[in-house]
Amino acid sequence: VATVVLSDKNSDETLYVEPEKTTKEVTYQFADLDDAKDGKIIPIEDAEHLKEAIINVTATSNAGSTWYCGGGALCFNSLQTDDGNVWAAKSFMYNGTGDVTVKFDGTFSIADPDGGDMLTVEGKITEKSMILQDWWKSSEKDDNGADVECTYNSITLVYDYAGAEVPTEEATTEEATTEEATTEEATTDSTEDTSESTVAPTGVSALAYGDVNEDGKVDIIDVIKLNKYLLGADTLSDQGKYNADVDINGKTDSTDSLNILKFVVEILHAEDFPVK
């Protein structure tokens, strides 16, 4: 039994808001990829945030087998491990036609130097590409899958991001440039329109684009806080409002929220601010 008491009094308790993850998907058609001597070369845009690869396969049996399958691996020539750089792979298996998902969880398979079964190790991808190799086939009619025909159609690489931190050096340089430009404009032309001026209000420090909650970085939490403020469910300090105005038009609105989100998912970058 529980009793719930409703109150109009503010609570001092801070509610936890789980950070949202954003994803970026990049799809390649195998027909457009370069050939390696032992497979297809697949570019990697951001190895640190690579979470999975979705391979689309069309497989058939020309002998009418009721079951048939096959498999291969995404291979790396130089995986970084605690024992040095080694050749490694993430294997996969397909059954007929459809999508096959390969998860990048930090573990990889490497060859046993003693000739035994493959070993599992932890490693870090440092290369800018990987190679898809087709390793084996099998079917009801033939253990070696001579009747199995397989076509790799596409591969989608999925990158996960929990937030984007503002590059300190770039932000510092940009803020200094903005302050210098503002000072020069005020000195040379006092009659110029300043409706989009980046001069901070009294008591507010230099503009830190997108840092709505003033924690020194820009991530999905800033977007959430700004949206809650716009809905009347949260408050912002003068500094927070100033930081949220990334198009420096003197207003804090949903356009600013969208532009900060674009930064978080890496559509916009530090050099794109202020957004015009």
The pLDDT score that the predictor gives to residue 90 is 95
Give Cα 240 to chain centroid, integer Å: 26
50 forms bridges with which residues in the sheet?
Answer: 159
Helix H, strand E, coil C: the string for the chain is: CCCCCCCCCCCCCCCCCCCCCEEEEEEEEHHHCCEECCEEEEECCCHHHEEEEEEEEEEEECCCCCCEEEEEEEEEEEEEECCEEEEEEEEEEEECCEEEEEECCCEEEECCCCCCCCEEEECECCCCEEEEEEEEEEECCCCCCCCEEEEEEEEEEEEEECCECCCHHHHHHHHHHHHHHHHHHHHHCCCCCCCCCCCCCCCCCCCCCCCCCCCCCECHHHHHHHHHHHCCCCCCCHHHHHHHCCCCCCCCCHHHHHHHHHHHCCCCCHHHCCCC
Global pTM?
Answer: 0.54
What is the C-alpha separation between 216 and 145, in angstroms, rounded?
57
How does pLDDT run across 238-263, given as a tens digit for each residue?
898 999 999 888 888 888 888 888 88
Task: List, in sequence order, every residue forming a beta bridge with 158; answer none if it has no partner.
Answer: 25, 52
Residue 16's pLDDT is 56
> What pLDDT is stored for residue 98 in this prediction?
94
Nearest to 41 by CA among 118, 126, 129: 129
pLDDT value at residue 201: 60
pLDDT at 101: 96
| Averaged pLDDT, groups of 10, the chain, 276 residues long | 71 61 92 92 95 96 92 94 93 92 95 82 95 92 92 96 50 46 44 40 70 89 85 84 90 87 82 86
Say which residue the tokens 């970085």 belong to: 217
* Cβ pair 214, 239 in contact under 8 A: yes
Distance from the Cα of residue 180 to its chain's centroid: 34
pLDDT the model gives residue 205: 61
In this prediction, residue 61 carries a pLDDT of 94
The reported pLDDT for the residue numbered 196 is 38
Q: Which pLDDT belongs to residue 191? A: 36
